[in-house]
Amino acid sequence: MPALESTIANHELCASRAGLLGFSEDEERRFGALLESTGCSFNSVPCNTVPETLARYDALVVSAEQDNLATLLTNLITARTPWLLVGIAQGAEAYWSLCLYADEALFRPYRDEEFLLRVSRTLRRRAIGQRPPRDPHQPTVLVADDDPSAVALVRSALRGYSLDCHFANNGCEALEKTRALLPDLVMLDLDMPYMSGLEVLRRIRTDACTKNIKVLLLTASRDLEHIQASSSLGADGYLVKPLNHLLLAGRIKRLLGRGGTEPAE
């Protein structure tokens, strides 16, 4: 993380209060030492803590590796305190709903500086309060991907750009929502259940109502055949996983006509 960004993160954390939920004693000691180094106080919070108590914290840091996630999610939503989810990307399917509702998500492995940056970004959600009323002219984006870790990264990249975001986790749902929402941009994973991203793209391009929608494909394959197929079907671009946060944000801004330059891949 750049020095300036690190300094800003540490400044934002100073004098704030964080709650740690569901971590081992070793993890709590590590996270606690990192937070205290910035002037942020912390407490270990039981996962069954009532929403009223959770609401007293400026931000919560939540481990995804625990039982009874449904009750935990209900309490977090009720408390309305911004929270950072920490988990393992390979097992993200088990806590898909947590990934969707978290304000920020961080997947192992990560550096200490990245942890502090994500906590500071989570704190900003408390500072700005509720989202402002939606601008009817703001771009609408549909993200279709059955990989929770990829969705969490995309959510993170989109946050802060005043976009109306929607999500789908399979091809059929993606096509249905595209036709219902008529979004400005659809981000499609190539390999999805029920209907592939390429088939969704083909149907989008053959429907008079959706044919002009911008489509960005996400793929874990560098296979030239896939790239050529996406181009022939009219994709506006593609990105290869694992996704680069800065490259993703730059590509989205370009496709939405918001200017900016993209970093080199």
Asked whether the predicted pLDDT for residue 262 surpasses 80, the reply is: no
Options 3.30.1330.60, 3.40.50.2300, 3.40.640.10, 2.60.40.1120; which CATH number does 3-128 get?
3.40.50.2300
| Helix axes of 197-206 and 224-232: crossing angle, nearest 10 degrees | 20
Per-residue tokens: 52: 């009223």
Residues 129-162 have pLDDT tens digits of 544 444 556 788 999 998 887 888 788 777 767 7
Asked whether the predicted pLDDT for residue 43 surpasses 60, the reply is: yes
3-128 against 140-255: fold identical: yes
Cα–Cα–Cα angle for 218, 172, 183, rounded to 5 degrees: 65
Euclidean distance between CA atoms 18 and 34, whole angstroms = 12
Give the mean model confidence (pLDDT) for residues 43-60.
Answer: 89
Query: In the chain, what are the domain boundaries?
Result: 3-128, 140-255
Asked whether the predicted pLDDT for residue 75 surpasses 90, the reply is: no
Task: Identify the pLDDT of residue 135.
Answer: 53
Which architecture does CATH list for 140-255?
3-Layer(aba) Sandwich (3.40)
Residues 6+ apart with CB under 8 A from 58: 16, 17, 18, 81, 123, 126
Selected residue with higher pLDDT from 67 and 189: 189
Asked whether the predicted pLDDT for residue 108 surpasses 60, the reply is: yes
Residues 6+ apart with CB under 8 A from 71: 47, 48
Give the mean model confidence (pLDDT) for residues 222-251.
Answer: 76
| CB-CB contact of 264 with 250 (8 Å) | no
